Amino acid sequence: MASSSTKRQSVLPRGQSGPKAPVNFSSSITIADSVLLTGNHTINISSESVVHPRAKIDSANGRITIGRRCIVHERTSIGVASSNPTPGESRDGVVIYDYATVEAGAVIESGGTVIGEGCLVGVGSRVGRGAQLGKHCVLTPKTVIQPGEAVPDFTVIYSNGTRRLDKRGVIDLKNKAQARQIEVLRKLIPSNPAKFQ
């Protein structure tokens, strides 16, 4: 395996593309070695959250805050600069509240974006700058939330933007499942928070 890895070089430039970001980690988080943290604002990650390998968190456009027991999957981009060049009024980049999950390949733009408690941002979704997701929202894969949009609590967005309210009332169940998943992920993902501090 070692020989093959030396042969196959990535065409992309190695290493960090920006300055080493200031971080503020809780001691109980799980963060993989190959996560990319860049930017000059603080990246806060609270207790028991999990960041998968190759997630990209960029604080160049504002502070990134990730709450407790969140899961950030592979190849997600959190804190991407918005395509709109005018500076936003918010100093926060992205705030992700407790128990939220950001699935693989999702993009969350920076600039006062809020992902509410217990939200699920589906595979390949895109959340625009300054969008506010309420509590326990579900974005099914490939959903696009426009910049500045406010999504009420318990909204499910599915099939090209159709919306409905989730009336199951299974928050406790969902939180328990999230905690259990984090427990398993901790065993699977070798954590190396010291690399970033």
Partner 1 sequence: MASFTPYTYIQCPCHDSTSQSQSADDAPPTASQDLSESGDDHTFHPRAQRSTFSLYPLEYLLYCDVCHQIRCPRCVTEEIVTIYCPNCLFEVGSSSLKTEGNRCTRSCFQCPICIGPLAVQALESPSEPALLSAENATTPIPAGPWVLTCSYCHWSSSEVGIKFDKPQGIFGQLQKLRYGEEQNKHVVSGDTSPTKHDSAPDTNKARFAALKSFYGSQTVNANPSAGLSGLGDYGLNSPGALTRIMSIYSGNNSNGLKQKNKSTVMREADSINEGFRASDLDESSAISQLRRDGWDGTVTCDQAKTQAEEGAQFADQLWPIPYLLRTKRSKRCPVCRHIISKPESKVTNTRWRIRLVANNSIPSISIKPLNPPPGSGLLKPLQPAQFLLTFKNSLFDDVKVTLATPATTPGRFASRVTVLCPEFQIDANPDNDMYLDDVLKDGDKERQRRRGDEGIHQAEAGKIWERGRNWVSIVVEVVPASLRIEPPPVLLRKEGGPAPDLSPLREDEDILEIPMFVRLEWESEASHDQVGASVSREKDVREKRELAYWCAIGIGRISQE
Site stretch for partner 1 (CB under 8 A), options 2-10, 63-71, 98-106, 176-184: 176-184
Question: 91 or 163, CB closer to partner 1?
Answer: 163
Does residue 133 bind partner 1 (CB under 8 A)? no
Nearest-approach distance from CB 108 to partner 1, in angstroms: 21
Q: Which of 1, 89, 187, 197 binds partner 1 (CB under 8 A)?
A: 187
Question: 150 or 173, CB closer to partner 1?
Answer: 173
Nearest-approach distance from CB 184 to partner 1, in angstroms: 6
- What six digits make up the tokens of 138? 């579900």
Please write down the long-range contacts of 44-52, taking CB distance under 8 Å and 24 or more positions apart. Answer: 45/70, 46/70, 46/98, 48/179, 48/182, 49/182, 50/182, 50/185, 50/186, 50/189, 52/76, 52/104, 52/185, 52/189
- Scan residues 134-163 and list those touching partner 1 (CB under 8 A): 138, 140, 156, 158-159, 162-163
**Residues 6 or more apart whose Cβ sits within 8 Å of residue 35:** 51, 52, 53, 54, 55, 56, 57, 196
Which spans of this chain sit near partner 1 (rule: CB under 8 A)? 138, 140, 156, 158-159, 162-168, 170, 172-173, 176, 179-180, 183-184, 187
